[in-house]
Amino acid sequence: MTIVGVLALQGDFPEHRAAFAKVVGPNGVQLIRTARELAKVDALVLPGGESTAISELLDKGGLRVALTERIGRGLPVLGTCAGLIVLAQRLETSSGGRDPVSLGALDVTVRRNDYGRQRESFEAPVRVEGLRGPKFPGVFIRAPRILEVGRAVQPFAWRDEEVVGVRAGAIWGLTFHPELSGDSRVAEAFLAENVPGA
Ligand code: GLN
């Protein structure tokens, strides 16, 4: 049976768990806090939240090394919002606060909080390549902006002309929160394309 792990150190991991449970069933989703738990998953979600806190907790819990190794061996990873920031190779300095230490798994440059503060959070339709039906309801909460995309990285989601989703093989990064939209199509596509037998 396929197990989708949701990194549960900080952020909106309960919402991701609920969203993936709709796709793979409640027993197919596990919250991940240790390297031992990580070893059992077929795919991993890095949730939205506070990227600096997530990054610090990766170090505290001794997960960073194990996670970097598994990603290096091809673990499919879906990072949303703060999760994308933690994956991004380059962070352009954001205003205020410390920046997280990246896992360096996705060759993009992002800037945190680039649409402004909490009250500038918004919803907007997103065109996601490969999804059938209407545009995806994009929920953007203190979202980062993707400023540069490396050669091996493909944009696959856009809000108007702006890139809001990228992928490099099985590493997917989104600036929005599909888990808060009630729409399972992104979760389904992530598993269908990256996790054989899911
Ligand atoms: N602003 C947060 C950060 O920089 C990300 C926000 C989110 O995940 N919704 O980490």
Pick the atom of ligand 1 nearest to 11's CA. 8
- Partners of 68 in the beta sheet? none
Nearest to 101 by CA among 136, 146, 142, 68: 68
> 49 exposed, middle or buried (CB, 10 Å; 0-12, 13-18, 19+)?
buried
pTM: 0.96
Residue 148's domain comprises 4-194
At 147, list the tokens. 């400023």
Cβ contacts of 33 within 8 Å, gap of 6 or more: 8, 9, 61, 63
Count structural domains, the chain. Answer: 1
Report the Cα 60 to chain-centroid distance in Å: 21
Distance 34 CA to ligand 1 centre (A): 22
Instruction: Please list every protein residue whose CB sits less than 6 Å from any atom of ligand 1.
Output: 48-51, 81-82, 85, 112-113, 141-142
Closest residue by Cα to atom 4, ligand 1, is 112
Question: What's 65's domain CATH number?
Answer: 3.40.50.880
Catalytic site positions: 81, 177, 179
Nearest to 174 by CA among 92, 79, 108, 86: 79
Closest residue by Cα to atom 5, ligand 1, is 82
Give, for ligand 1, the residue of 15, 51, 118, 175 to mutate: max count of ligand atoms closer than 8 Å to Cβ.
Answer: 51
Q: pLDDT tens digits, the chain, 198 residues: what are they?
A: 899 999 999 999 999 999 999 999 999 999 999 999 999 999 999 999 999 999 999 999 999 999 999 999 999 999 999 999 999 999 987 666 678 999 999 999 999 999 887 777 899 999 999 999 999 999 999 999 999 999 999 999 999 999 999 999 999 999 999 999 999 999 999 999 999 888
